[in-house]
Structure 1
Amino acid sequence: MGLLSIIRKHKLKSKILRVLILGLDNAGKTTITHRLLNKSLDKVNPTMGFNIETISHNGFTLDLWDIGGQKSLRTFWNNYFDQTDILIWVIDASSDRLGESWLELERLSNGEWVKGVSVLIWINKVDLLIDPEGTQSTSKVQQFNKDKLQQTRADVIEHLQLEKFKYNHWEVICCSAYNGMGIKEGLEWVLNAYKKDNDL
């Protein structure tokens, strides 16, 4: 049995997931990580390089690799895929850089390193799409939320055509690291995808 097989067997037995969090700079990767860790969101600094955090959820341990999204770091992203179980790609829904984000994800997805990896795309900062000024009534926000987010998710799925890549499983979920919407749903999807990938 090779070293990689031994490591993988140990990870499965210990229920340890390696989760890679990528996306453009200022997409909200570190804020999402803080939300998952129940850390304060008052002061979140941009990631220069990478941060590693660990959380436990439903009997699983998730090692979260939060990688900086600056242009100077993107050429090194593929170096972090070794032993990765889940890729989380974070998109800033409020940004005018959606095209750039899609191009970077497509470039990354064409690599051989995505084989055997499942991907969750978190469309972050949707709270800024729903009610940017915070002035609408709750009922209006809820209805706009439903309509707008369904369309946003559909647009992303149609544009990315994720089924053409070699990911095991994929999902697109709208979220807000600021208010927590969609974060728990995404975390549950990550665990379920890992279980499917490893017949657990």
Structure 2
Amino acid sequence: MSISINISTSQYNPIASQQKQIPLRSAITQPPPPPPEFSILLLGLDNAGKTTLLSQIKSHYHPSRPAPATKTVPTVGQNVATIDLPDMYLKVWDIGGQESLRRLWQSYYASCHAIIFLVDSTDIGSGVEGGLDGADIGGTSAGGEEDGRLAECRAVLESVLAHQDTSGVPLLVLANKQDREDCVEVVRIKEGLVKRVFEGARGAGIRDSRVLPCSALTGAGVKEAVEWVRSRVVWNKEARPGVLR
């Protein structure tokens, strides 16, 4: 009696099988990558309300933290806060706005992903040097001290945008203190400040930008501002990718 034994070439190979399972197993056990982190510069003249705005942002996105105080001490150096969003971290840098500290701003430009420039809309006169279309606005005379700090604000914003390291960085201009009766309307700030900066000799030309109203004291407009910044750093992530923590 003859017994034939057939050895199949498709026998189970435990090593090969294990190797095939490694990618699947790795995919199951390997944790997802952490959300990227984007750095946002919060700039503006001294007393524009930057520190109050940063406190308001923290209060909105971290409810356990206290609401901002009505009076703050001017920032000497920097304040930093990180807020957790579903798809990213936003690290907001509040940099001191005193004239002696503004030279330090440029050291942050290369690594930032967006800029928020805060304007005190109660301290820029009519919002347009010499009045809108040369007219006397709101009882203020053309030029002079009645323009408040408009010329200074425009010069500082021009210097920020003229720097090579801010090229292509999304810019949000926030018209702060819109809760006050003596504030300048957003449309005048847009026409009299932002548009003139962009069209000026030192302007940066076309860039991703927007002007929005807010009140750092009451929190009005804060979430809209953060959402705009979030959407723009995502849109610009090929040029300036986020950092993995």
* Residue equivalent to 1:126: 178
Q: Which runs of 4+ in 1 moved over 6 A?
A: none
* Residue equivalent to 1:153: 190
Please state which structure has a larger fraction of its residues in helix: 1
Establish whether residue 27 from structure 1 lines up as the match of residue 41 from structure 2: no
Amino acid at match of 1:173: L
Q: Structure 1 residue 15: deviation in Å?
A: 2.1
Please show how residues 1-200 of structure 1 align to structure 2 within 5 Å: 14-38=35-59, 39-42=66-69, 43-95=71-123, 96-128=148-180, 131=181, 148-161=185-198, 164-165=203-204, 168-198=207-237
Larger radius of gyration: 2
CA distance in 1, matches of 2:189, 2:207: 23
CA distance in 1, matches of 2:168, 2:196: 22
Question: Structure 1 residues 57, 154: CA separation in 2 closer, same or farther (over 3 Å shift)?
Answer: farther
CA distance in 1, matches of 2:165, 2:196: 22
CA distance in 2, matches of 1:34, 1:162: 33
SS of match in other structure, 2:67? coil
Q: Structure 1 residue 149: deviation in Å?
A: 3.4
Q: Structure 1 residue 81: deviation in Å?
A: 1.4
Amino acid at match of 2:234: K
Amino acid at match of 1:72: S
160-169 vs 38-47, greater mean Cα deviation: 160-169
CA distance in 1, matches of 2:118, 2:188: 18
Per the normalisation by structure 2, the TM-score is 0.64
172-181 vs 40-49, greater mean Cα deviation: 40-49
Q: Structure 1 residue 103: deviation in Å?
A: 0.5
SS of match in other structure, 1:127? coil
Amino acid at match of 1:45: V
Per the normalisation by structure 1, the TM-score is 0.78
Size of the aligned set, in residue pairs, is: 174
Question: Structure 1 residues 80, 87: CA separation in 2 closer, same or farther (over 3 Å shift)?
Answer: same
